[in-house]
Amino acid sequence: YGSISIERIHSSLRSVIEQHTILRTAVYFDQANNQIEQCIQPLTDEIYSFQHSQGISTSEQLDDLLTNESTKKYFDVTKGKVLRCHVVERSTENHDHSLHEGDFIFFNVHHIAFDLSSVKPFLKAFAQACYTDDSCQPILSVPQYIDFALYEQAMLSDINVNSKMNKAQRFWSDLMHDYDWNGIRRLVPEEDTNDKVRSGRALSVAFHLEQNIVDAMMLFTSSNNITMFSLSLACYYAFLYKIINDDDLCVAGVIANRSKEEMKNMIGMFVNLVPYRIKMQSNNSFNHFVQEVQQLCIDVLEHASLPYQQIIETQGKREHHVLPSSAFQYESSVSTLTQNTSSKLIVGEGCVLGAFNDRDTAHGNGTTLFDLALTIAHDHHSRSTEYFLDCSTDIFKSQANVDLLANRFQHMLTQLFSSSSIIHEPIYKLSIVLPTEQEFIHQMNNTDISTSYSWPNTVHECFVQQAQLYPQKLALELDEQSLTYSELLYSVYCLTNYLTDKIQPNEIICQCVERSFEMIIGMLAILSSGAVYCPLSPLDPPERLKTLIEDTSAKTLLIHSFTWQTILMTHTSCNLIITDSFIMFNHINYNNDHHITKPISVTSDNIAYIIFTSGTTGIPKAVVISHSHLLLYLQSSVEV
């Protein structure tokens, strides 16, 4: 409310830029010296952007303006142009060159010179410049970002073995030792190779947790002396473990990096990226795991002042693009009422500016540096929590995949913190199978079959019979994980449903996977789809694999995350299906009949599988086995 002249805003902005040299610092690469350099520029009209607009009266016009502010190129860091101010008059009727109630001031600052913690000192400096006549403080009396940069360089140059930075280097070297930075952790079936340049574009989804789940999480933190940050990160770890089937997890996080009191009032880019790496023991309970994550967070925070470039150099990684594939950010905020009160800015006699909170451009803005980024916004006063998932479009090809991922995460959180909590059970018992999928499994289990035991005509019919007779018995066990017959049947059903639309009867499908659940699921799905199963060993050299694939004339090849790189080296033209991620993101549509697998005619005389043997000559020879031959062998084994 109140009013303030546009000229006063303009002059105050210049005063802030004059005081805080980071807002007019050019950053460029000096080719002669082969280094990045900074140079403080003199204050001129070209060093910043200032715009005055009128007649932005509708919400659509305002939304378009905000979109332009966040997407158009207004900055030039090589010339020190990193700040933009856009004053907006909603009406065209005022002619006093002033802003009035309902008008807007938009500040846009390049991230190279500004972080979230810079907002408060920037607004404080702007308000002081507006309010006082002699607004420009001497530059030497204002803490400058260059002071922090010199302080950081001095710490990095300290050769004392017990210096803060040397201790941090040892910590990060130990924490990240043996981490496979080049490991492929695939999230969806359509994902391409990791060598491609990322576009930075993202698909996003947001969801709120139900109040009883939020209350249960807050009760857990207070009862166990755990922070919401640690608990939320532990939940994210557990979810990543379930979707990528890897217990060595690394998530990128952001640290404010303002350890000194005087840094809290400085404008600049202080934040540091740090990797949170943990090796999960899935047979431990989630309750125990949260305690491990809490200790990890404490240790990371203690050593977070070492710049990220130095952290990755402790691992011999100097590439600028070395990043974990996943990111995590936790935002703790106060209630809207408190936030609105604390964000009011007095800029003159009778003139107060308030924060504009009608649009959140920090989340779901269509950009991300990571394959998968989770942001959690928790409001302690309103006891509410909102989750934002930003997924790279280079990885996630459809909004449906992103929505499905969010649904699985939400379902897992509900399991953990509902009345039937399994917090004290091993982590591997957590399920991301959705209730609709569980219902389908239940329906399959209730299918009437003859209780009299007789040998079916095909291998996959034999499996289905067992699954219907003993749906809740364990079918597969591997390390600390297990699948019941009904869960295995559902996964086989999903993959079969997909294959039958892609292949012809009696077509040969090769599978190259390591020892895993996916090996069994893939084999049974191939047989169930009326195709011929041909196993390939991932231990074979690429040249041999290429020869075997060509000999079979296979058009489709089932693989999983761990054999992806091996198959790429064969340069095969086969349609590749990543089985583990396929199972995660391809589910049955229960609202129509498309999930009903089309009738497949397979007899006992059909070929079940082809296996290659080197024989006496060393040349691979194909051995053909029919369903009847395999079933006779199985029957004889049972009788023995």
The domain spans of the chain are 4-142, 211-352+374-429, 435-639
Plot region of 245 (φ>0 → left; ψ -120 to 50 → alpha; else → beta): left
Identify the CATH assignment for 435-639 out of 2.60.40.3680, 3.40.50.410, 3.40.50.980, 3.80.10.10: 3.40.50.980
Of 280, 236, 271, 15, the residue nearest 124 (C-alpha): 15
Q: DSSP 3-state assignment of 559?
A: strand
Q: Which residues contact 108 (CB under 8 A, 6 or more apart)?
A: 49, 69, 70, 74, 83, 84, 85, 86
Q: Which residues contact 188 (CB under 8 A, 6 or more apart)?
A: 395, 396, 397, 401, 581, 584, 585
Q: Do the Cβ atoms of 176 and 275 come closer than 8 Å?
A: yes
Strand ranges across the sheet with 104-109: 49-54, 83-89, 104-109
**Interatomic CA distance for residues 289 and 230, integer angstroms:** 10
Structure tokens at 216: 């249960």
Annotation: CATH topology of 4-142: Chloramphenicol Acetyltransferase (3.30.559)
Q: DSSP 3-state assignment of 206?
A: strand
Tally of CB atoms within 10 A around 157:
9
pLDDT of residue 336: 41
Q: Which residues contact 336 (CB under 8 A, 6 or more apart)?
A: 357, 379, 382
CB-count burial class (<10 Å; 0-12, 13-18, 19+) for 120:
middle
**Interatomic CA distance for residues 288 and 270, integer angstroms:** 33
**Interatomic CA distance for residues 487 and 476, integer angstroms:** 10
* H-type alpha helices, 158-254: 164-175, 211-224, 228-244
Which residues does residue 624 pair with via DSSP β-bridges, in sequence order? 610
* Amino acid in the structure at residue 421: S
**Phi/psi of residue 483, nearest 5 degrees:** -135, 135
Q: Are strands 508-512 and 556-559 parallel, antiparallel or unpaired?
A: parallel
Residues 30-67: b if buried by 16+ CB within 10 A, e if exposed: eeeeeeeebeebebeeebbbeeeeeebeeeeebeebbe
pLDDT of residue 4: 86
HSE at residue 460, side-chain half, CA atoms within 13 A, is: 27
**Interatomic CA distance for residues 245 and 241, integer angstroms:** 5
Q: DSSP 3-state assignment of 203?
A: strand
Q: Give yes or no on whether 4-142 and 211-352+374-429 have one common fold.
A: yes
Going from the C-alpha of 600 to that of each of 108, 501, 505, 535, the distances in angstroms are 61, 11, 8, 22
pLDDT of residue 636: 74
Structure tokens at 146: 């260059």
Q: Check if CATH label 3.30.559.30 holds for domain 211-352+374-429.
A: yes
Per-residue pLDDT reduced to its tens digit, 362-418: 566 678 888 899 999 888 777 888 999 999 888 887 888 889 899 999 999 999 998
Q: Do the Cβ atoms of 99 and 105 come closer than 8 Å?
A: yes
pLDDT of residue 357: 55
pLDDT of residue 534: 95
Per-residue pLDDT reduced to its tens digit, 408-448: 999 999 999 986 678 888 888 888 888 887 777 666 555 55
- Count H helices, E strands: the chain? 19, 23
Of 286, 275, 284, 205, the residue nearest 238 (C-alpha): 286
Structure tokens at 60: 């659509």
Q: DSSP 3-state assignment of 86?
A: strand
**Interatomic CA distance for residues 115 and 304, integer angstroms:** 16
**Phi/psi of residue 261, nearest 5 degrees:** -60, -40
Q: Which residues contact 423 (CB under 8 A, 6 or more apart)?
A: 220, 285, 286, 287, 416, 417
Which residues does residue 38 pair with via DSSP β-bridges, in sequence order? 27
Low-confidence spans in the chain with pLDDT less than 70 = 1, 133-141, 182-197, 317-321, 334-343, 348-349, 356-365, 419-420, 441-455, 480, 585-599, 615-618, 637-640
Q: Are strands 104-109 and 49-54 parallel, antiparallel or unpaired?
A: unpaired
